[in-house]
Amino acid sequence: MTGQRHDLGATFVRLGRAMVAAEQPVLDELGIEMWDYVVLVALRDGPVHTQARLAAATGRDTTRLIPILDRLEGRGLLYRTPDPADRRNRIVELTAEGAELVTAGQAAIRRMEARLLAGLPEDERAGFISTLERVADLIAGPRDRL
Query: Which residues of this chain interact with a copy of itself, rule CB under 8 A?
Result: 1-3, 5-20, 22-23, 38, 41, 44-45, 59, 103, 106-107, 109-110, 113, 116-117, 119-120, 124, 127-129, 131-136, 138-141, 143
Q: What is the C-alpha to C-alpha distance for residues 146 and 121, in angstroms, rounded to an integer?
A: 35
Q: Would you call 5 helix, strand, or coil by DSSP?
A: coil
Which of a copy of itself, DNA, none is residue 22 near (CB under 5 to 8 Å by kind)? a copy of itself
State which residue, 52 or 135, has the beta carbon closest to a copy of itself.
135
Which of a copy of itself, DNA, none is residue 116 near (CB under 5 to 8 Å by kind)? a copy of itself
141 alpha carbon, distance to own chain's centre: 16
State which residue, 31 or 141, has the beta carbon closest to a copy of itself.
141
Closest contact distance (angstroms) between CB of 137 and a copy of itself is 9
Q: How far is CA 123 from CA 62, 111, 137, in A?
A: 41, 18, 22
Closest contact distance (angstroms) between CB of 111 and DNA is 26
Q: Find the helix or strand (DSSP H, E) in which 130 lies.
A: helix 122-140
Backbone torsions φ then ψ of 12, nearest 5 degrees: -65, -40
118 alpha carbon, distance to own chain's centre: 22
State which residue, 82 or 127, has the beta carbon closest to a copy of itself.
127
**CA-wise closest residue to 99 among 111, 91, 107:** 107
State which residue, 28 or 133, has the beta carbon closest to DNA.
28
